[in-house]
A and B are shown apart, each in its own frame.
Chain A
């Protein structure tokens, strides 16, 4: 079975903390994505990467950064967490024009 694994299902962090969300895929996909999911807004793209060390901003990159040092791993970084970053975060990977595969999601609460 193909797999995208996110390191945590639930996280609670304090305002101002630096937060790392990790995602690993075992399918050798070149494309990886971070979305956030909020009620009524669907999934919004934060950042994506099409190769190692390559990254592109999505639709809502403010307050986030990413790292892709290895093909299988894509990390999302909240430089200084704020309460408006409380959300569900979904990682996905994709090979070229095929379907995207998703992780189980990380529900982040910033207090």
Chain B
């Protein structure tokens, strides 16, 4: 079945450091890929998405590129802030059959001042 694998956390960085959170996937067909963020005590919010190979999603300084050849969608940010501290989820959707997103286990990011 479809699955998403994320690097385990927590990831602890100092402010202004470079961030990479790895995400790889297994899917039948051609999935759409998503990154969601969850701030403490809240639900999930869409951070960015990409719907086909080589697409780059970007938002709030975060970027991820859909790499079909390596089945990856790694999240990057050039300079993290304390306010980026949250849990990040990689997800996919294969748009045949059920319309639910399949999520990775989440990666907690802690940014220290």
Q: Which residues of A contact B (CB under 8 A)?
A: 4, 31, 33, 35, 40-43, 45, 48, 50, 56, 58, 90, 92, 94, 96-97, 99-105
Instruction: Determine if A42 and B104 form an interchain contact, defined as CB atoms under 8 angstroms apart.
Output: yes
Instruction: Determine if B105 and A48 form an interchain contact, defined as CB atoms under 8 angstroms apart.
Output: no
Interface size on B, residues (CB 8 A): 23
Q: Which residue of B lies closest to A31 (CB)?
A: B99
Contact code string B55-77 (vs A, CB < 8 Å = 1, else 0): 00000000000000000000000
- In angstroms, Cα B42 to Cα A100, docked, is 15
23 pairs, CB–CB < 8 Å, chain A vs chain B: A31-B100, A45-B102, A48-B98, A48-B99, A48-B100, A56-B98, A92-B44, A92-B101, A94-B99, A94-B101, A96-B95, A96-B99, A97-B32, A97-B51, A99-B34, A99-B49, A100-B46, A100-B101, A101-B46, A102-B44, A102-B45, A104-B43, A105-B43
Instruction: Determine if A105 and B89 form an interchain contact, defined as CB atoms under 8 angstroms apart.
Output: no
- In angstroms, Cα B44 to Cα A99, docked, is 11
Q: Which residue of A lies closest to B34 (CB)?
A: A99
Closest 7 CB pairs of A and B: A102-B43, A42-B105, A43-B103, A102-B44, A104-B43, A42-B103, A31-B99
- In angstroms, Cα B95 to Cα A94, docked, is 12
Instruction: Determine if A58 and B43 form an interchain contact, defined as CB atoms under 8 angstroms apart.
Output: no
- In angstroms, Cα B32 to Cα A96, docked, is 12
> Nearest Cβ distance between residue A60 and chain B, in whole angstroms?
12
